[in-house]
Amino acid sequence: MALIKSVRGFTPQIGENSYLADNATIIGDVIIGNDCSIWFNAVLRGDVNSIRIGNRVNIQDGTVIHTLYQKSVSIIGDDVSIGHNVVIHGAKIESGALIGMGAIVLDHAVVGEGAIIAAGSVVLTGTQVEPGSIYAGVPAKFVKKVDPDQAKGMNQKIANNYLMYAGWFKEDEKK
């Protein structure tokens, strides 16, 4: 069972039909929406400030989401896919965005709606990623605009796949 821990008077809130892997860790001021999945070894540590997760978000294995004490919050919109081993620290990820494996998104950065952050990229503090764009590199820079329908279709496919994967684990837990 996932580790869900209260701290400083804050108890995590988990939305309906959300899947938490056995060793996911959710601490403190964290609110997770409906139909989300938080995968193995993911850590959402809302001990020093708040973390807000929208609906239909998948936070994949090894991801860490944290904030700066009294200075930043982490906000994730709806229909967001966050790849394996991502670090999001006090940033805003708008709806429909995709954060590739191993990427780092730092404090006060904003990843616009439907944007894609390439695997291994580092989005520096305060960076504003335009909606519907691809950013890549260290530090992450604009690469190109993406076709909004193509990006939305890809992101929805990933989100739907993760709902399906979570369903497999829920079925096995019932047996």
List, in sequence order, every residue forming a beta bridge with 7; answer none if it has no partner: 10
Check: CB of residue 101 under 8 Å from CB of residue 121. no
- Give the CA distances from residue 127 to residues 32, 84, 109, in Å, rounded to whole numbers and listed in that order: 25, 22, 5
Going by pLDDT thresholds of 50, 70 and 90, the confidence category of residue 175 is low
Q: What is the pLDDT of residue 149?
A: 82
Pick 3-174's CATH classification: 3.30.230.10, 1.20.1050.10, 2.160.10.10, 3.40.640.10.
Answer: 2.160.10.10
Check: CB of residue 88 under 8 Å from CB of residue 76. yes
At 97, the amino acid letter reads A
**Digit-coded pLDDT (tens) for 23-51:** 999 999 999 999 999 999 999 999 999 99
Question: Where in the chain are the domains?
Answer: 3-174
171 pLDDT exceeds 80?
no
